[in-house]
Structure 1
Amino acid sequence: MDCPKRGGAVAGLPDDPLVEILSRVPVKSLCRFKCVSKAWRDLIADPLHRRKLPQTLEGFFCGLRYEDGEDGYGGDGCCGGGGHWLDSVFIDLVGRSAPLVDPSFSFLTEKLPGIKHVRILHSCNGLLLLRHRPVPHTDTHTLGYVVCNPATQEWVAVPSSGWLYSDPPEGEDEDDDDREIGEDTYLIFDPAVSPHFKLLQFLMKANILNEVGLHTYSSETGVWTDRSGERRRLEEGGESTQLGSFGTISSSLGSAFVNGMLHFIVDHIQKDEDLIVAVDWEGKTRRFISWPQSHSCRDPAFLGQSQGHLYCISEQIEGNSTQITIWVLEDYDKEEWVMKHSVSSLQLFGSIKWLVHLDYTVVAIHPDRNLIFISHRGQKLISYNMDSKEVDAVSTVREDYGITPYVPYFSESPVLSNKH
């Protein structure tokens, strides 16, 4: 005999229809509903129900950006790639006694004992992209990837793209170094569109630091595709000023998945300026978005998304202080930026004795609240509320830590074939 559906949160209404209704409301409203009553809170927190409910920022994975002896490199000898080492550190914003996820990723490392030197590269809608290198490390090696879901402890190994890193030949002039020395690899995943994910791997040359190559991976086909030729043909066809090559990707300044496309900041070669580039699931450049044109918007500090919009944060030195300005792209098609908020370093940190770019790093924008997170002087992580103008200490962090925001995804995936 089937067990009757229990009721509780709303008298006379079974839980399943209520959960279906709640799955359609914004995360901000869902968080408010938790305060209605204990029954509502338990309903929303139920592990069976939260698979259907929208989730929000729960915390941050942290780790060293570089190991001893590394000098601006991605930890495997290759430049670029961003991210940080896997250091078994998770900052829980909710303050649980036990962390929401296993920060050591033992569910993965115990199953793949041969992988070492794991870096967290990117996160997208609850999935994480990890990169690792073989042990022992050699002067010539390929990089491996794993896509995993820390909430469900599911994962899948991704084969090498075939790109081979090699150390520079001894005695070769830097200007003659034509190696592809680095890669920036991103994860694209949208469960509302498909259970499958894509990886975009951009490659750069040593002598010109120009993004010249592109490999894409599809979990649906299980193979990598070299699309470098497509990019070159696009440039040769006379479209380079609009959709052609761009310079180095500023991976440390964040990225955003908005309107079904991945956005990141690039140093554009032809235009000699910082631009936001939007690429589709195949890595094709769809548009360039100009940085907000204003006297108060100078140097890029961060790019992210919140409440369905693209956000950028800029900084400008004004006397002994620095002004941090938050912009929102209110109209994506018309490219209309609106200044949402501005705050000085004096308001944030209570001191003017600090240097731009050296004493703070913007690490995240809350996806559902008017809140930004900043690592200050490499010692503490703070949050700034744009509505209340309050500054709160979140956690203590190491000076050389990289930080990856984490929004959980509780549904199991047929694509992530391995489970702890």
Structure 2
Amino acid sequence: MELLPEDLLADILHRLSAHDLAAARCVHISWRAVIDSHRLMQLVPLPLAGIFLSFNDHAFSELLARPVPPSAKVSGKLHQYMPTADPVPVADHCNGLLLLGCAYVANPATRRWATLPFPPPSFPASWNGFPRYDYLVFDPAVSPHYEVVTIPHLPNKGAKMVDTRVDGWEWPPSSMMLPVFSSATNRWEERWFERQGEALGTVAEVRQPWPGDEQYGVYWRGHLYVHHNFIWRFPDYSGQTPPKDRFEWDSDSDDVLDKKDTIEGRYRENITILGFHPHKEVLFLSESMRRGLAYHMNASKLQDLGNMYPTRYDDFADPHRLILLAFPYTPCWTVEFPSNN
């Protein structure tokens, strides 16, 4: 192998699966250099392992995974992969990493995790009353390091503000300082962001009357997109592996429902979207929060993924039961992920 030209070695390694390619990076420093310089990890789609689900009034997140009989309870038993037995909900995710509350970043695939230091009080007192959410930024094809960004959201119109002058502020502000944690330095820092374009209006004009607020964020092509009544775009931020079949979604063909059981027919009502398959034309759905469904758009095929309702959820949840967070999970086997376990 040492006699092979670098381009030929890269072509051979490119034919490996994501799991085997991650393992190949551990074989020799020269292989790792070829894989990283040719960005081969970015070219290989990560397999889908399942769908993470967080329910209100439920301290633990669930993992809807396959294969299981359609009548069986589906659970990922996340305590096996998490850094603590205490209930810590999944707050965000990015390319295989999970942000647990505001305390941990974990990689369930490699069972490695890191503790986040407590962030400094970076926002001025006038921002009191603005909800703040943390978002994870991670691209294993670029770097083994990740960042966590704290972003303030607008409070709803019913919330009382400590400083009433904020109602006259432009939103978003022309410039904003945000706390950013970097695993490369293992500390929080203050980073300024400048607004491009005009403001949407004043805080008083943009605030919404309802209490809810979308919190989803997506890191795509070097930018962080955050859904907050509108879409924010933030600019570029520049071990061991498990058994190969531990994280593999299987399969696309079992438990296919009869053609009369279509979204327009039996499942027309009480359907919510859980997310999209990362590599296929498949839409994941929830039917009354009870059963998971996969709609194969190219084949107009509806697949039953099984019971997704948490065990004894009715015994402790309030009447307003809902799914707070759902996202397809693709594991990452980056060995260099910083950890302290």
* TM norm structure 2: 0.62
Is 1:400 paired with 2:322? yes
- Please, which of 60, 70, 75 is the counterpart of residue 86 of structure 1? 60
Partner in structure 2 of residue 216 of structure 1? 180
Q: Conserved in 1, the CA contact under 8 Å of 2:223 and 2:237?
A: no
| Counterparts of 2:115 and 2:12, CA distance in 1 | 34
1:49, 1:247 → 2: CA distance?
51
Matched, 1:193 2:142: yes
Backbone CA RMSD of aligned residues: 4.2
Q: Which residue of 291, 294, 300 maps to 1:380?
A: 291
Tell me the equivalent position of 2:36.
Answer: none
- Identify the residue that residue 129 of structure 2 maps to in structure 1: 180
Correspondence for 1:409? 332
**Residue pairs, 1:115-134, within 5 angstroms:** 116-131=86-101
Q: Which residue of 2 aligns with 1:251?
A: 214
Are residue 391 (structure 1) and residue 291 (structure 2) matched? no
Match of 1:65 among 56, 63, 68: 56
2:64, 2:308 within 8 Å by CA — same for their partners in 1?
A: no
Aligned to 1:39: none
Q: Using CA pairs under 8 Å that are at least 6 residues apart, name the structure with larger relative contact order, 1 or 2.
A: 2
Equivalent residues of 2:217, 2:224 under 8 A apart: yes
State whether residues 61 and 405 of structure 1, in contact with CA within 8 Å, keep that contact through their aligned partners in structure 2. yes
Paired AA for residue 188 in structure 1: V
Query: Partner residue of 1:265?
Result: 227
Which amino acid counterpart does residue 63 of structure 2 have in structure 1?
Answer: F
DSSP-derived class of the 2:79 partner? coil
Aligned residues: 259
Relative distance call for 1:351 and 1:50 in structure 2 (3 A) is farther
Q: Cα distance, 1:368 vs. partner?
A: 0.4
Pairing 1:367–2:266 present: no
- Unaligned stretches of 5+ residues in structure 1: 5-15, 24-29, 32-43, 68-84, 111-115, 132-143, 166-176, 268-274, 284-345
Q: Is the 8 A contact 1:255 1:264 kept in 2?
A: yes
> Deviation at 1:60?
1.8
Percentage of pairs with the same residue: 21
CA distance in 2, matches of 1:412, 1:204: 34
State the alpha-carbon separation in 2 of the partners of residues 382 and 162 from structure 1.
Answer: 43
* Aligned-partner Cα distance in 2 for 1:158–1:379: 34
Are the counterparts in 2 of residues 262 and 278 from structure 1 also a CA contact under 8 Å?
yes
For the residue of structure 2 that corresponds to 1:221, the secondary structure is: coil
Cα distance in 1 between the residues matched to 2:334 and 2:302: 34
Q: How big is the shift at 1:86?
A: 2.3
Indicate the SS of the match to 2:118.
coil
Give the structure with the higher percent strand.
1
- SS of aligned partner of 1:104: helix
CA deviations 1:280-332 (Å, max 9, x no partner) are 2459xxxxxxxxxxxxxxxxxxxxxxxxxxxxxxxxxxxxxxxxxxxxxxxxx
2:186 counterpart letter in structure 1: G
Aligned residue for 2:110, secondary structure, equals coil
Q: Contact 1:154/1:417 (CA < 8 Å) preserved in 2?
A: yes
Distance 1:411 1:152 in 2: 8
CA distance in 1, matches of 2:82, 2:127: 40
1:350 matched residue in structure 2: 265
1:280 alignment partner, one of 235, 259, 263:
235
Name the residue aligned to 2:162.
none
Q: 1:50 to 1:161 in 2, by over 3 A?
A: same
Structure 2: segments with no counterpart, 5+ residues: 2-8, 27-40, 160-170, 239-260, 310-320
After superposition, what is the alpha-carbon deviation per residue over 1:22-49, rounded to whole angstroms, capped at 9, x for unaligned? Answer: 14xxxxxx69xxxxxxxxxxxx779845
C-alpha distance in 2 between matches for 1:211 and 1:93:
42
Instruction: Give the superposition deviation at 1:372.
Output: 0.7
Counterpart residue type for residue 331 of structure 2: P
Q: How many angstroms does 1:266 deviate by?
A: 2.9
What does 1:293-304 correspond to in 2, within 5 Å? Answer: none
| Contact residue 126 and residue 149 of structure 1 kept, 8 A | yes
2:137 and 2:202 mapped to 1: Cα distance?
Answer: 21
Q: How far has the Cα of 1:129 moved from its partner? A: 0.8
The code of the aligned residue for 2:214 comes to S
Cα distance, 1:204 vs. partner? 3.5
Contact 2:139 2:146 in 1 (8 A): yes
Aligned counterpart, 1:157: 115
Offset of 1:394 from its aligned partner? Answer: 0.8
- Paired amino acid for 1:350: G
Structure-2 separation of matches of 1:119 and 1:347: 33
1:235-268 Cα offsets, whole Å, 9 max, x none, are 6xx954389998689535x44322211223332x
Q: Distance in 1 between matches of 2:66 and 2:274?
A: 14
Q: What is the alpha-carbon distance in structure 1 between the residues aligned to residue 110 and residue 267 of structure 2?
A: 45
- Report the alpha carbon displacement of residue 161 of structure 1 after superposing the two structures with TM: 1.5
Tell me the secondary structure at the aligned position of residue 362 of structure 1.
strand
Amino acid at match of 1:409: C
1:21 to 14, 17, 20: 14
**2:79 paired residue number:** 104
Q: Distance in 2 between matches of 1:255 and 1:222?
A: 22
Q: What is the CA distance between 1:222 and its match in structure 2?
A: 1.8
Shift of 1:203: 1.9
Residue in structure 2 matching 1:146, options 91, 95, 104: 104
The one-character-per-residue Cα deviations of 1:81-125 (angstroms, maximum 9, x if unpaired) are xxxx424x322235599x997522455116xxxxx4411011111
